[in-house]
Structure 1
Amino acid sequence: MTRRETPAPVRLGRIGYLNVLPIYHPLETRAVDNDFVVESGPPAKLNTIMEAGGLDLSACSSIEYARRPERYLLVPDLAIGSCGPVQSVLLLSRVPLDRASKILVSAQTHTSAALLRLMLATRFGLRPDFETGDIRSRLAAGEPPQAFLAIGDEALRLRRLPDYPYALDLGSEWNAWTGLPFIFGVWIVRREAAAQLGPRMDRAVRTLLAAKAHGAASLPDYALLGEAQGILDAPSLRSYFRGLVYDLGPEEQEGLCAFYAKLAEAGAIPAAPRLEFYQLRDVVAA
């Protein structure tokens, strides 16, 4: 009799930023039991790995779904965004924004860079030049850019640089423009992995949603964890977490669809995709 092989664990992508701590900390501490193999990195890296088939289920830039909707399904009711100030996606400038002729953009972002280009051109009629690079190395080398887009923990750390008094919070500006939440990141399942893994993918998605529920009940604790990492003090981090959206309900979906429609109008994607969700089975096999 041949010995039964243990199935390979589901490969899960984790954005390496503080804002997803409420989702992943319950998994990492086993407060929510799981057997994920986790790959961590900035959104742009996870987009690339997911596209190449190196992950089964991952947090990704929301624009990654729009670029390849035929490859992915959205995890239901799980996202990362804001309905107002996001505090961690910021355009910072040494000069008034309408005078900024060149903007340095972090290579870690796809969605935020697309949103910034769209917003500056469509909302403000501005078309500065863009360059991609590492913001902190430029600052450390004494070569500060005229303006830069920072995301994630880097934005939280750099948001009050005295040499950059002009700031645009992209979450706040989107809400003022559309009246809707902005969804920076979504969780997606590769369609191929869903077909191959079957009930194991069901368990993986349910586990991820259980981690979200656990994290939502413990948000004040994550402010203390972030403070211990030296990012910001706990009161500032409590304000930060309160401003984040982790749901992908009707209003968040409307905001996501509005972003896709505007991208399509601007020619940044061929067409606005339909939102297609992973369908959980009523019964999960043991």
Structure 2
Amino acid sequence: MTYRAGWIHFTNVAPILDSLVLPPQVSAITGVPTQMNAALLSGQVDIANISAVEFIRNADTLEALPDFSVAVLGPVYSVNLFHTRPLQELRRIALTAQSAMSVALLEVLLRGRGLSPALERAEGEAEDLLNSGYDGVLRIGDSALREWYRVVGPLTPERTMTMLPDSGRGITVTDLAEEWFRLTGHPFTFAVWAYRKDRPPPAALIQAMRVARRDGIGHLAEVAQRHAARLGLPERVVQHYLWNFRYHLEAPDRLGLEEFAAKAVPGHAPLRFGERPAR
């Protein structure tokens, strides 16, 4: 029987998925986070790199690989709240339907500040939505990375990624992962590789993923070069963006994940992870 994978192939997982060679009897489809979340929960696929919040909400039926994650310590650059007023003055925020994770994180951060603006579904680029009447717009993924750079760039030989401002063109960009770090001091885990408990992945697939990750991280400049051309961004931007991620679900990442679970989904079932590979 074919084992079915569902990949969210944003640039942030390129070091794992770009060079992944699926073993025999494994097939894969791709989609945005909400599509792959639904595909895994409905049984259309058996494993997916899904939003951490969906893993938490469905911890009674899902288990996660113990050593794969998409996490950051500090800024992520691609999960951004674009706004034209200070955070405490926001009245209407447009939310993307592509990511339950980013919406849940935004809700946690707003509650932490005692804020309750209206949250409304609306798709489109940040500047267009801001011009249409919203004073805040949540954007994720590759498009959010491009829009962030459009607002705060450009890089110069003297100005690195960490020296870029957080505003430009009359817009402030609040990086939600950086806000999480300021709130908790922990990394933020955006995604895990989760699978249905009754359909654990074959060992050959897990090994192929580990080989691909080693190759991708070992050739990060080449990965960045490929994706920079596709995104229309400087290679320096994309290489720093990828270098910034934590792909191994280490103890600090799990600690941040558990804290987020407690804040976002009180009373959730225990989170379960497969056995870690031998060192």
Q: TM-score range by the shorter chain?
A: 0.7 to 0.9
For 1:164 and 1:135, locate their aligned partners in 2 and report how far apart those are by CA, in whole Å.
18
Question: Match for 1:36 among 26, 32, 52?
Answer: 26
Greater Rg by CA: 1
1:11 match: secondary structure: strand
Which residue of the partner structure matches residue 147 of structure 1? 136
Which residue of the partner structure matches residue 157 of structure 1? 146
Gaps of 5+ in 2: 152-167
How much has 1:57 moved relative to structure 2? 1.0
Backbone CA RMSD of aligned residues: 2.2
For 2:173 and 2:277, locate their aligned partners in 1 and report how far apart those are by CA, in whole Å.
46
Worse-superposed segment, 11-20 or 132-141: 132-141
How much has 1:231 moved relative to structure 2? 3.6
Task: String of CA shifts for 1:63-113, please: whole Å, max 9, x gaps.
Answer: 111111111111111000110110000001012221110100110011110
1:240 aligns with 2:229: no
Task: String of CA shifts for 1:225-250, please: whole Å, max 9, x gaps.
Answer: 11120341101111111211112011
Which residue of the partner structure matches residue 14 of structure 1? 7
1:75 aligns with 2:65: yes
2:59–2:269 contact (8 Å) kept in structure 1 = yes
2:67 match: secondary structure: strand
Q: Which amino acid aligns with 2:66?
A: P
For 1:181 and 1:141, locate their aligned partners in 2 and report how far apart those are by CA, in whole Å.
29
How much has 1:192 moved relative to structure 2? 1.6
For 2:125 and 2:77, locate their aligned partners in 1 and report how far apart those are by CA, in whole Å.
18
Identical-residue share of aligned pairs (%): 29
Number of residues of Structure 1 aligned to a counterpart in Structure 2? 261
Which residue of the partner structure matches residue 190 of structure 2? 184
Higher relative contact order (CA 8 A, sep 6+): 2
Gaps of 5+ in 1: 1-6, 195-199, 264-268
1:98 aligns with 2:99: no
Which residue of the partner structure matches residue 38 of structure 2? 48
For 1:93 and 1:189, locate their aligned partners in 2 and report how far apart those are by CA, in whole Å.
36
Alignment of 1:198-277 (within 5 A): 201-263=202-264, 269-277=265-273
For 2:276 and 2:203, locate their aligned partners in 1 and report how far apart those are by CA, in whole Å.
6
2:34–2:98 contact (8 Å) kept in structure 1 = yes
2:79–2:138 contact (8 Å) kept in structure 1 = yes
How much has 1:260 moved relative to structure 2? 0.5
Alignment of 1:122-141 (within 5 A): 122=112, 124-136=113-125, 139=128
How much has 1:219 moved relative to structure 2? 1.3
Task: String of CA shifts for 1:197-238, please: whole Å, max 9, x gaps.
Answer: xxx622222222222222121111111011120341101111
Question: Match for 2:174 among 168, 191, 212?
Answer: 168
Taking structure 1 as the reference length, what is the TM-score of the superposition?
Answer: 0.84
For 1:141 and 1:130, locate their aligned partners in 2 and report how far apart those are by CA, in whole Å.
14
Which residue of the partner structure matches residue 74 of structure 2? 84
Q: Which amino acid aligns with 2:57?
A: R
1:202–1:281 contact (8 Å) kept in structure 2 = no
1:245 match: secondary structure: coil
Taking structure 2 as the reference length, what is the TM-score of the superposition?
Answer: 0.86
Worse-superposed segment, 56-65 or 130-139: 130-139
